[in-house]
Structure 1
Amino acid sequence: MLTLLTYPSAFGLFSASPFCVKTAYMLQLAGLHWRRSDMVDPRQMPHSKLPVLRTPERLVPDSDQIRDWLEAQGAEFDRGLSDVQKGQSRALIRMAEEHLYFQIVMDRWANDEVWPVLRDTFFYEIPRIVRRPISNSVRKSVLKGLRSQGIGRFSEAERMARVERDLEAISAYLWQAPYLLGDHPTSADLSVGPMLAAMRATPADTRLTRRIKQDTLLNSYVDRMEQAIPLP
């Protein structure tokens, strides 16, 4: 049986990581037998991050590489799409994973209202007596990385303006069909859906969570994805 090495459930989601949710969606759509195995410290994993798929032959890291492996086994996530639609799908995936994702990280790790919840959720295995200094050190490293990536250099208003253009682009697709590229979920939905769900689930009343919750189109899309592909 396949085993998905994933971050634990959090904030009412299959996992706090949208990449782990994406991979679980792919496994469900592929129709393969699999189980989850939760981890909180991925430093011994390839690339030192999750998700990782344990197959009978090897560990497959990274959601993109896991997709390649699943497709090599016969999975087809973009059945019925034209070449142009497949190109649009790729662009939507990159927008979600290389831009929206970092907005989520910033909204969680840089927000002093969210941080205590994150600390106790992500670092619960660390003894309480040393949890605060260790978690604060990790937080400092994450925020430094966000500044190097670029998103940490913008004000909240600037970040929200950038997010808004992405959400408008996603909404333009969803006005045409129940899913981004048609009547059933395809690979673009498997990336975009979990990102929007993660934005909505952040455990505080932030501008980003309100933006999703108050948008009927996006909010219903997230619900529709969760209903279309139930996760264990």
Structure 2
Amino acid sequence: MITLYSYPELFGVADNNGYGLKVFAFLKLTGVPFIHQHVFDASAAPRGQLPYIVDDGETIGDSGAIIAHLIERNGLSIDAGLIQAQRDTGHLITRMLDDLYWVMSYSRWKDEQFWPAFRDALLRQHPSLTEENLRKAKEFNSQRYHYQGIGRFAPAAAYARGTEDLQVLANLIPEDTFLYGPKPTSIDAAIYGFIANVYFYPIDTPLKQFVTSHANLVRHCRAIHAAIGGSHAATA
């Protein structure tokens, strides 16, 4: 049995981090059985980053590597119909989502306008956390943002960068299907991992405003959410 280790749920989604939710959605869409273990401490993870899986004693980190491993190990056909140009576009989207991650994270941990609401939501849903835990995490993330670069942006400039990424997705996602047709592929799981962590976020960040104003992004997110058995407890 596969065990997925990822951050805890929040705001009605199974993982409050885009990468872990991406893997969770992929596993659900492909029907691969797994156990989901929520953790806050990433020190045991490969390279100290969540998510990771343990599959028959083998530990694999990095969401992309996890999905590639699962496809090969289980002979999954979710991406079998994609042509090379579609695979290339998926690769580019995946790299763009890496950029969007930093803006999404910035909106939660860095921007003082939205940080208190995020902190309070974590404390409500996860009583094992303390304000001191979150203060230290906030300081740690502030250092990460500074060295990565997004922490040197003023909020308006940071969100402009994020909405540029979201605009690309809005341009690419059809109005009534998944990215490449009526059935989702692994790239749809990746897109969901990040959009769901914006759309179901009940705080009106500029990222949330952008997503909710684009019907195709909302429809895509909710379609994957329903397909993987997600709860709509948190709504836009």
Identical residues among aligned pairs (%)? 26
In the TM superposition, residue 66 of structure 1 has moved relative to its aligned partner by 1.0
Matches of 2:151 and 2:60, distance apart in 1: 31
Which letter does structure 2 place at the counterpart of 1:157? A
Corresponding residue pairs, total:
227
Q: Is the 8 A contact 1:173 1:181 kept in 2?
A: no
Which letter does structure 2 place at the counterpart of 1:99? D
The alignment partner of 1:142 has SS state of helix
Q: Is the 8 A contact 2:179 2:188 kept in 1?
A: yes
Matches of 2:34 and 2:230, distance apart in 1: 11
Partner in structure 2 of residue 185 of structure 1:
184
CA deviation profile, 1:128-177 (whole Å, cap 9, x unmatched): xxx33442232112012112111122222222322232222212222366
The alignment partner of 1:37 has SS state of strand
Matches of 2:99 and 2:86, distance apart in 1: 20
Which letter does structure 2 place at the counterpart of 1:165? E
Partner in structure 1 of residue 80 of structure 2:
79
- Structure 1 residue ranges (4+ consecutive) displaced by more than 6 angstroms after TM superposition: none
Q: Write out aligned runs for 1:77-226 (5 A).
A: 77-96=78-97, 98-120=98-120, 121=122, 124-126=127-129, 131-175=130-174, 178-226=177-225
* 1:112 to 1:162, Cα distance in 2 relative to 1, 3 A: closer
In the TM superposition, residue 44 of structure 1 has moved relative to its aligned partner by 2.0
The alignment partner of 1:8 has SS state of coil
CA RMSD of aligned residues (A): 2.1
Q: Is the 8 A contact 1:24 1:231 kept in 2?
A: no
Partner in structure 1 of residue 28 of structure 2:
28
* 1:137 to 1:229, Cα distance in 2 relative to 1, 3 A: closer
> Normalized against structure 2, the TM-score is what?
0.86
Q: 8-17 or 200-209: which moved more?
A: 200-209
In the TM superposition, residue 191 of structure 1 has moved relative to its aligned partner by 1.1
Q: Is the 8 A contact 2:94 2:187 kept in 1?
A: yes
* 1:229 to 1:135, Cα distance in 2 relative to 1, 3 A: closer
The alignment partner of 2:181 has SS state of coil
Matches of 1:82 and 1:220, distance apart in 2: 25
Gaps of 5+ in 2: 232-236
In the TM superposition, residue 63 of structure 1 has moved relative to its aligned partner by 1.1
Partner in structure 2 of residue 15 of structure 1:
15
> Normalized against structure 1, the TM-score is what?
0.88
Q: Is the 8 A contact 1:30 1:70 kept in 2?
A: no
Matches of 1:24 and 1:134, distance apart in 2: 26
Q: Does 1:43 align with 2:46?
A: no
Partner in structure 1 of residue 58 of structure 2:
58
Gaps of 5+ in 1: none
Q: Is the 8 A contact 1:114 1:203 kept in 2?
A: no
